A and B are shown apart, each in its own frame.
Chain A
């Protein structure tokens, strides 16, 4: 019993220390005078690596999730003769919930793990140390561009996911199952609210982007510089980021749509 309590205490202290170190890392990366001219190529590269290279998985997943939603939704709605509500069902599920959450989970697996492994390896091969000794701050040169790339790209990816998902829903609902095409779009237009649904979805997605990116960067920066340490850090990034996204999703949903 006492042992368990001790373990719980040490785990809590560990978590709080981790949060502290992550905050310090972020502060060090973002504080100070920006140097747009010198940093521009670094940012462009990270936007490409983090954002553009994640597009394929987002497009394919979005399409399939939209198609499955339409298929599942149709069978239930048809029982009540409410097939014309298929459009709002697909759109609201995606915009409010599945778009931000699934994008965040995919992003954690695709880009988050890559960020952790890359930074962990840079640490293990002393590249970060040597940068520091050359009077170049690795926080500003390595962490900052990756942070902004993650924070900006993920909400954009979520929007693309939603759009492709809605098209996937159309493909199955209208083209295959025979729901009226005009009804699909007009019911969607009537039931989806710009602020309540779209903006709230973007807010969710931005929060998830912050969580996933900071966890990925921190785990890499804090990794034990051995092969085992990096493999652990990469796994932890995916597990911690996914759980954090699901946890925050519940809280945000309760705040946004709960009352």
Chain B
């Protein structure tokens, strides 16, 4: 469904990805994990065509996203969807209008059908009763579910989740985990989940990529990864504070610095 080959992306002088390749299979939940700050969200933006890579190809449904013209890119985006970390609901619209937004923009369906579609999507995320609320009246978990309803409003082929579990209480986390899995099955979508919540991701993903130090350091099914020989992968999966990724930020020698302060 999505095939990334030899992707290199720089921000100024800083290399974010160096010659990286990944594949996301149709109908599967593929997770991308990795420490904070390695540009996982950037990867989703690259797939969505919001950023241009320096080199490499990103093929989505047979089309190379970076090479598309503006209107072709907008056509391709109609087939994909993204759930932002913040939810990114439009604050001046009610939950109902938020979910109806993509349908109203891209179709000419009569309002009764739009209403039916929106209520179906809201029912799927359990927020049919909250349709008249404004985004500011929703809790964090509810806002993300409302955003999820909006993301699936037009039944996209690909849905990208940006840190869907971050900052959620255990109950809403459980709800979102279940929703991702069931939506993927029910709608036959391809899902890409970017996260660093190891337990949740391992429970729903069919395939996992672990990204660190500008490249993929390990990939496989959750079971394969648990047996992975790389110490970096193990440090990440087991959440050890120190290891190949050091606990301390680069600094001068501690004892020496203390001595200098004394002197």
Q: Is the beta-carbon distance between B77 and A135 smaller than 8 angstroms? A: yes
Within the complex, the shortest CB–CB distance from A213 to chain B, in Å, comes to 20
Query: Which segment of B80-88, B120-128, B206-214 sits at the interface?
Result: B80-88
Q: Is the beta-carbon distance between A130 and B82 smaller than 8 angstroms? A: yes
Tell me the chain B residues, 111-158 only, with Cβ under 8 Å from chain A: 147, 150
Per-position binary interface string of chain A over residues 115-146, scored 1 when its CB falls under 8 Å from any chain B CB and 0 otherwise: 00000000001110110111111000000000
Q: B48 an interface residue at 8 Å Cβ cutoff? A: yes
A135 to B103, CA, bound (A): 11
Q: B39 an interface residue at 8 Å Cβ cutoff? A: no
Q: Known interface pairs A125-B91, A127-B91. Does A133 touch B82 (Cβ–Cβ under 8 Å)?
A: yes
Q: Known interface pairs A126-B84, A129-B50. Does A135 touch B106 (Cβ–Cβ under 8 Å)?
A: yes
A125 to B147, CA, bound (A): 13
Q: Is the beta-carbon distance between B48 and A134 smaller than 8 angstroms? A: no
Q: Known interface pairs A129-B50, A130-B82. Does A135 touch B88 (Cβ–Cβ under 8 Å)?
A: no
A249 to B172, CA, bound (A): 58
* Highest count of chain A CB atoms <10 Å: which of B82, B88, B106: B88
Q: Is the beta-carbon distance between B91 and A136 smaller than 8 angstroms? A: no
Within the complex, the shortest CB–CB distance from A14 to chain B, in Å, comes to 16
Which of A38, A126, A127, A134 contacts B81, CB < 8 Å? A134
Q: Known interface pairs A126-B84, A130-B82. Does A137 touch B74 (Cβ–Cβ under 8 Å)?
A: yes
Q: Is the beta-carbon distance between B75 and A134 smaller than 8 angstroms? A: no
A38 to B104, CA, bound (A): 9
Q: Is the beta-carbon distance between A133 and B101 smaller than 8 angstroms? A: no
Which residues of A are found within 8 Å of B78, using beta-carbon distances? 135
Which of B48, B74, B75, B86 contacts A126, CB < 8 Å? B86
A134 to B74, CA, bound (A): 8
Which of B48, B88, B102 contacts A127, CB < 8 Å? B88
Q: B105 an interface residue at 8 Å Cβ cutoff? A: yes
A130 to B50, CA, bound (A): 10
Give the size of the chain A interface in residues (CB under 8 angstroms): 12
Q: Is the beta-carbon distance between A130 and B77 smaller than 8 angstroms? A: no
Which of B77, B89, B105 contacts A133, CB < 8 Å? B77
Which of A125, A133, A136, A137 contacts B48, CB < 8 Å? A133
Q: Is the beta-carbon distance between A129 and B88 smaller than 8 angstroms? A: yes
A132 to B51, CA, bound (A): 12
A127 to B74, CA, bound (A): 17
A125 to B90, CA, bound (A): 9
Q: Known interface pairs A134-B102, A134-B105, A136-B105. Does A125 touch B86 (Cβ–Cβ under 8 Å)?
A: yes
Which residues of A are found within 8 Å of B45, using beta-carbon distances? 129
Within the complex, the shortest CB–CB distance from A42 to chain B, in Å, comes to 11
Residue of A with least CB distance to B45: A129
Which residues of B are found within 8 Å of A126, using beta-carbon distances? 84-86, 88
Within the complex, the shortest CB–CB distance from B102 to chain A, in Å, comes to 5
A133 to B85, CA, bound (A): 14
Which residues of B are found within 8 Å of A129, using beta-carbon distances? 45, 50, 84, 88
A193 to B44, CA, bound (A): 61
A135 to B81, CA, bound (A): 9
Tell me the chain B residues, 62-80 only, with Cβ under 8 Å from chain A: 74-75, 77-78, 80
A168 to B88, CA, bound (A): 48
Q: Is the beta-carbon distance between B74 and A130 smaller than 8 angstroms? A: no
A132 to B75, CA, bound (A): 11
Q: Is the beta-carbon distance between A136 and B88 smaller than 8 angstroms? A: no
Q: Is the beta-carbon distance between A136 and B86 smaller than 8 angstroms? A: no
A129 to B77, CA, bound (A): 12
A127 to B82, CA, bound (A): 12
Q: Known interface pairs A125-B91, A127-B91, A129-B50. Does A134 touch B86 (Cβ–Cβ under 8 Å)?
A: no
Per-position binary interface string of chain A over residues 11-34, scored 1 when its CB falls under 8 Å from any chain B CB and 0 otherwise: 000000000000000000000000
Tell me the chain A residues, 85-138 only, with Cβ under 8 Å from chain B: 125-127, 129-130, 132-137
Within the complex, the shortest CB–CB distance from B67 to chain A, in Å, comes to 18
Within the complex, the shortest CB–CB distance from A198 to chain B, in Å, comes to 38
Interface residues of A (CB under 8 A from B): 38, 125-127, 129-130, 132-137
Sample (9) of A-B pairs whose CB atoms are under 8 Å apart: A125-B86, A125-B91, A130-B84, A132-B48, A133-B48, A133-B50, A133-B80, A134-B81, A137-B74
Q: Known contacts A134-B101, A136-B105; can you find 11 more A-B pairs with CB under 8 A?
A: A125-B88, A126-B84, A126-B85, A126-B86, A127-B89, A127-B90, A127-B91, A132-B48, A132-B77, A133-B82, A135-B106
Closest 9 CB pairs of A and B: A130-B88, A126-B88, A135-B77, A133-B82, A135-B74, A135-B78, A126-B84, A134-B102, A136-B105
